[in-house]
Amino acid sequence: MTDELKRGLEGVLVAESDLSYVDGEVGKLVYRGYDIEDLARGASYEEVLYLLWHGSLPTAAELDAFAADLAAEREVDDDVIETVRALADAGERPMAALRTATSMLSAYDDEADEADDGEATIRQGRRITAKIPTVLAAFERVRQGAEPVAPDPDLSHAGNFLYMLTGTEPDAVSEETFDMALTLHADHGLNASTFTAMVIGSTMADVYSGVTGGIGALSGPLHGGANQDVMEVLHEIDASSKDPVQWVKDKRDGGGRIPGFGHRVYKVKDPRANILEEKLRDLADSSGDTKWLDYTTAIEEYLTDQGLVEKGIAPNVDFYSGSVYDSLGIPVDMYTPIFAMSRAGGWIAHVAEYQEDNRLIRPRARYTGPEDAEFVPLDER
Ligand code: ACO
C-alpha cells in the first residue's frame, strides 16, 4: 500500500473502462473508439446513447426500436410535475430542482429497489434519461408562468426537449445543433460527476441515487457550472459596454480565473470547444448576429497572445457551449441542467459497466488529527 498522497486524485488510476478516452496532450476524445468529431457530425444523441449503453453503434432497425423505447418513457407522474411547480414557486435553482426531481422519479419505478445487475441499471437509466428533459422543460415553463408541454414521442430526444421548452417544434438547424451539443457532452472519462455516480453505484445503490449524486457534483462552478459563468461574463461585458479584452485584463489583474479556460486533463484546446466554435460561427453567419462570436474570439486571441494557452490553460467545452445555447434562445441558468441531461447517459453507462465487476470504492485519508486525546464528559467540559 503506497502512502503517496494524490490531492484531487489527480492521475490516479481507479478502474478500467471501454467507454471513453481523453488524450489531454493532443486534444482527443473518443467514445468506444469513435472520434468525437465523427460522432458529433454523423450520429444522433440516441445513437450515442446506444453506443455507450450497448457497446456498438446500432443498425437502423436497432436505432428505431431503441429511440421508440426511450421516447415511450418520457411522461412523468403528475406528482413530480407538482413538485417541480412547488420548487419553481420557491425560486429554487434549476440544477437543484433537477436534483430533487430526479431523486423523486424512483418512487414511480417499480424496479428501482431491485436493480442488482447491469441490465436493470440500463433499463432504469433509460427511464431517467427519457424523463430528465420532461422535468427540466416543465420547470422552465412553470417558472415563466406557462403550463408544461407534454412530450411528443414522434420527436427526437433533442427536438422534443426544445419543443417542450418553447411549445413550438424546433427548426432543423436548432434541433441538429442541440443534438450535437448533447453528443459532445455525453461522456468524458472519470470526471468529478461520473466518479461520484460510480462511487454511489459501487455500493450497489440504485442508479437514481447515482444520477442524483452526479447532478450534485456537476452543479459546481469548477465543473458543469462553468458554462453558465461564461455566458454571464459575456452578458456582463455587453451590459458594461467594456471591451472584452479589457474585462479579461481586469479579471486577471485581480487574480481571478477566466471561466471556460483550463482543464484538469486537456493541456490544449478541448476538441469539443473546436466543434462548438465552428457551430457558433455557422449560427452567426446565418443570423448575421456575430456579437458572442466576436467576444469569445477576442478573449481567446488575447489569452493566446498572453501565453496562457501555451501554458495549457486553453478553452474548454464550456467556453463555447453557452453562446450556442444562447443562439437557440435557452435561458442561461438552464445550461448546466442541459449538460446534466446529456451527461446522465454517460453516468448510467459508467455505473452499469463498473457494477459488472463491482468493487466497493473506499479510499483512505492520511490521519493528521490529534492522538490519545483524553475524553472529558460533557458536564465537566
Ligand atoms: N484562468 C486563469 N488561470 C487559470 C485558469 C483560468 N480559467 N485555470 C487554471 N488557471 C491557472 C491557476 O491559477 C494555476 O496557476 P498557478 O499554478 O500560477 O497558481 C494553474 O492554472 C493550475 O490551476 P489548477 O487549479 O491547479 O488546475 P486544475 O487542474 O485543478 O484546474 C479547472 C482545472 C478547475 C477546470 C481550472 O482550470 C478552472 O478553474 N477553470 C475555470 C472553470 C472552468 O472553466 N471549469 C470547467 C472545466 S470543464 C468541465 O468541467 C466541463
Q: Which of 350 and 2 is assigned the larger pLDDT?
A: 350
Quick one: 302 and 172 in the same domain? Answer: no
157 is catalytic: no
Per-residue pLDDT reduced to its tens digit, 334-369: 999 999 999 999 999 999 999 999 999 999 999 999
Tell me if 35 is assigned to some domain: yes
Residues 78 and 98 in one domain: yes
Nearest CA to ligand 1 atom 1: 257
**33 and 134 co-located in one domain:** yes
> Is the model's pLDDT at 327 over the cut of 70?
yes
Coil vs helix vs strand at 288: coil
Distance separating the N- and C-terminal Cα atoms of the chain: 40
Per-residue pLDDT tens digits for 294-325: 999 999 999 999 999 899 999 999 999 989 99
Position 244 scores a pLDDT of 94
Could you tell me if residue 163 is inside a domain?
A: yes
Residue 252 C-alpha to ligand 1 middle, in angstroms? 13
Please report whether residue 316 resides in a domain: yes
**CATH number of the domain that residue 267 is part of:** 1.10.230.10
**7, 218, 222: which to mutate for ligand 1, most atoms within 8 A of CB?**
222
Give the 3-state secondary structure of residue 20: strand
* Sheet bearing 34-35, strands edge to edge: 20-23, 28-31, 34-35
Could you tell me if the CB of 258 is within 6 A of ligand 1? yes
Do 84 and 173 have their domain in common?
yes
154 and 81, same domain (yes or no): yes
State residue 118's pLDDT score.
81
Q: Average per-residue pLDDT in the chain?
A: 95
Give me the CATH number covering residue 124.
1.10.580.10
Over 80: is that where the pLDDT of 166 sits? yes
Atom of ligand 1 nearest to the CA of 252: 2
378 assigned to some structural domain: no
pLDDT band (50, 70, 90) for residue 275: very high
Cell numbers given for 282: 455557422
DSSP per-residue letters across 49-96: HHHHHHSSPPPHHHHHHHHHHHHTT----HHHHHHHHHHHHTT--HHH
Residues 143 and 161 in one domain: yes
pLDDT surpasses 90 at 221: no
In angstroms, what is the span from residue 138 Cα to ligand 1's centroid? 34
Rounded to whole angstroms, the Cα distance separating 297 from 187 reads 26
Q: Is the pLDDT of residue 107 over 70?
A: yes
Spatial separation of the C-alpha atoms in residues 216 and 193, rounded to whole Å: 8
Q: pLDDT band for position 155 (50/70/90)?
A: very high
- Across 241-269, average pLDDT: 92
Assess whether 208 and 251 both reside in one domain: no
Q: Is the pLDDT of residue 72 over 70?
A: yes
Euclidean distance between CA atoms 31 and 20, whole angstroms: 4
- Dihedral-angle region of residue 255 (phi above 0 means left; psi in -120 to 50 means alpha; beta otherwise): left
Q: Does 349 map to a domain?
A: yes
Model ipTM value: 0.94
- CB 170 within 8 Å of CB 162: yes
What is the b/e burial string over 177-191, where b = at least 16 CB atoms within 10 angstroms of the residue's CB? bbbbbbbbbbbbbbb
Residue identifier of the C-alpha nearest atom 36 of ligand 1:
262
Q: Whose CA is nearest to atom 40 of ligand 1?
A: 262
304 and 340 housed in the same domain: no
Q: What span, in angstroms and rounded, lies between the C-alpha atoms of 113 and 223?
A: 30
> Which among 307, 327, 347 is the end of a domain?
327
Quick check: is 14 in a domain? no
* 197 and 75 fall within a common domain: yes
261 lines ligand 1 (CB under 6 A): yes
Ligand 1 mean position, distance from CA 290 (Å): 28
Residue 364 included in any domain:
no
**pLDDT at residue 224 in the model:** 87
Question: Which phi and psi (to 5°) does residue 66 adopt?
Answer: -65, -45
Q: Do 192 and 246 share a domain, yes or no?
A: no
Q: Is residue 11 over pLDDT 80?
A: yes
d(CA 205, CA 213): 11
pLDDT digits (tens, 9 = 90+) for 15-69: 999 999 999 999 999 999 999 999 999 999 999 999 999 999 999 999 999 999 9
What total number of domains does the chain contain? Answer: 2
Domain containing residue 162: 28-221+333-356
Is 342 a pocket residue for ligand 1 (Cβ < 6 Å)?
no
Residues 32, 106: Cα–Cα separation, whole Å:
29
Same domain for 131 and 85: yes
Mean pLDDT of 72-78: 98
Q: Is the pLDDT of residue 1 over 80?
A: no
Write down the pLDDT at residue 115: 59
Residue 117 has pLDDT above 80, yes or no: no
Query: Does 147 share its domain with 60?
Result: yes
- What's the confidence (pLDDT) of residue 239? 93
**Is the C-beta atom of 48 inside 6 A of ligand 1?**
no
For the chain, give the percent of residues with pLDDT over 70. Answer: 99
Note whether residue 16 is domain-resident. Answer: no
For residue 223, what pLDDT band results from cuts at 50, 70 and 90?
A: confident
For the chain, how long is the longest CA-to-CA vector? 76
